[in-house]
Amino acid sequence: MFLQNLLETLIKLDVKTMMGVLICGNLVLSLLTLRYYIYHDSNYDKTIIQRFGIAKILQAIAWLFLFFRGEISDVISVYFGNILLFVSFYLDSLIVLRLNDKWTKGWVLTQSVLLAVAVILFLVFEITLSAAHIRVGIASLAVFLVFAAPNVLSILNKESTKFQKVIAAISLLFLIFLLLRAFNSLFDNEIVLFTNNFFQIGTFLALVLLMLTNGVGFLLIMYDRSYALVKESSNLDPLTRIYNRRFFMNKAESYFKRHSKKMVTYHFFLLILIFSRK
């Protein structure tokens, strides 16, 4: 009964409401990222944090332009809105590459080329056809084109953490819905941006879920990296890069505790054996 009520509630959601959620959610994430950026010390991580914050701001602006489709100029809503969305997902894709230690000239060039192809493809179809259902389909394919490869790489990468794989899996769920939405839109003349059907609702629900997990996950990953860096620097001599006294004392303490637990277990079974013989 609970699942049935939940599904009925989700189906009743409309695209414009979820766009509002995406606008507010991305703005909140950008503010949290800004605060984290100000108090973060590592220059290497600061670059990633900065790009993440810019990506969230661009997504919020893009969804804001799309939210007011029909109420503001088409140049701003259609062209700027969609292109900003492509650029924001491009920045997200670069962040995924950086977190997977795949930040190479080859990968960055590939993603840049895919972004250029996505923008040109969208502009060509929009200028020549200017049909709402074609626009929705091409925009969906463009985001898929930019965002798919890094997330597949994140799942296949053996060095990525379980949390990174979970975020990548949710991203792929969103991309699957996006691809279905693209083909549905291309072959259905009645589809527009605010049409409420299964593919539209599923895509936006997956996008909201992706926004939440991606934002929280990114900040947690950055926190873990900072903690690991602080832990490493506290255990290494800054001049020789050799483990210091604190490291060996912590190791000795952990070994002592482990040995103590084993000794307690050993004495416990020894007492049982003695009393059983009596």
Query: What is the arithmetic mean of pLDDT over 90-118?
Result: 91
196 pLDDT band, cuts 50/70/90, is: confident
Looking at the fold, whether 183 and 141 belong to one and the same domain comes out as yes
At residue 56, the pLDDT reads 93
Q: pLDDT per residue over 157-179, tens digit each?
A: 888 878 888 888 888 888 998 99
Query: For residue 275, what pLDDT band results from cuts at 50, 70 and 90?
Result: low
Predicted pLDDT at 231: 61
Pairwise CA distance, residues 25 & 47, whole Å: 22
**Confidence label for 118 from pLDDT (cuts 50, 70 and 90):** very high
Note whether residue 2 is domain-resident. Answer: no
Q: How far apart are CA 199 and CA 218, in angstroms?
A: 27
Task: Note whether 113 and 182 are same-domain residues.
Answer: yes
Both 31 and 100 in one domain: the answer is: yes
CA dist., res. 29 & res. 89, Å (int)? 15
In a shared domain, residues 125 and 252: no
Residue 71 lies in a domain: yes
Name, in order, each residue with C-beta under 8 angstroms of 255's C-beta and a sequence gap of 6 or more: none
Number of domains in the chain: 2
pLDDT of residue 38: 80
Q: Is residue 6 part of a domain?
A: no
pLDDT band at 206 (very low <50, low <70, confident <90, very high): confident
Q: Is residue 78 part of a domain?
A: yes
Determine the straight-line distance between the first and last CA of the chain, rounded to whole angstroms.
60
In this predicted structure, the answer to whether residue 257 has a pLDDT above a threshold of 70 is: no
- Residue 244's domain comprises 240-277
Q: Is residue 4 part of a domain?
A: no
Within this chain, do residues 156 and 265 fall inside the same structural domain, yes or no?
no
Whether 58 shows a pLDDT value over 90: the answer reads yes
Task: Looking at the structure, tell me whether residues 223 and 145 fall in a common domain.
Answer: yes
Domain of 170, CATH number, reads: 1.20.1070
In a domain, residue 3? The reply is: no
In this prediction, residue 244 carries a pLDDT of 57
Q: What are 69's strand-pairing partners?
A: 72
Confidence of residue 93 (pLDDT cuts 50, 70, 90): very high
Is residue 267 domain-shared with residue 202, that is, in the same domain?
Answer: no
Task: Please compute the mean of the pLDDT values over residues 184-200 and round it to a whole number.
Answer: 87
Residue 101 lies in a domain: yes
Please give the model's pTM, rounded to 2 decimal places.
0.80
Q: What is the mean pLDDT of residues 13-26?
A: 90
Q: Is the pLDDT of residue 121 over 60?
A: yes
**Residue 9 in domain:** no
pLDDT the model gives residue 125: 93
Give the pair of three-digit tokens for residue 1.
Answer: 């009964």
Pair (23, 111) in one structural domain: yes
Are 45 and 225 in contact by the 8 Å Cβ rule? The answer is: yes
Residues 172 and 252 in one domain: no
In the predicted model, is pLDDT for residue 39 greater than 80? no
| Cα(277)–Cα(272) distance, integer angstroms | 9
* Res. 142 pLDDT band, cuts 50 70 90: very high
- Selection from 169, 168, 218, 185 nearest residue 56 by Cα: 218
**Based on the domain organization, do 58 and 30 belong to the same domain?**
yes
* 30 and 167 assigned to the same domain: yes
| 145, 200: one domain | yes
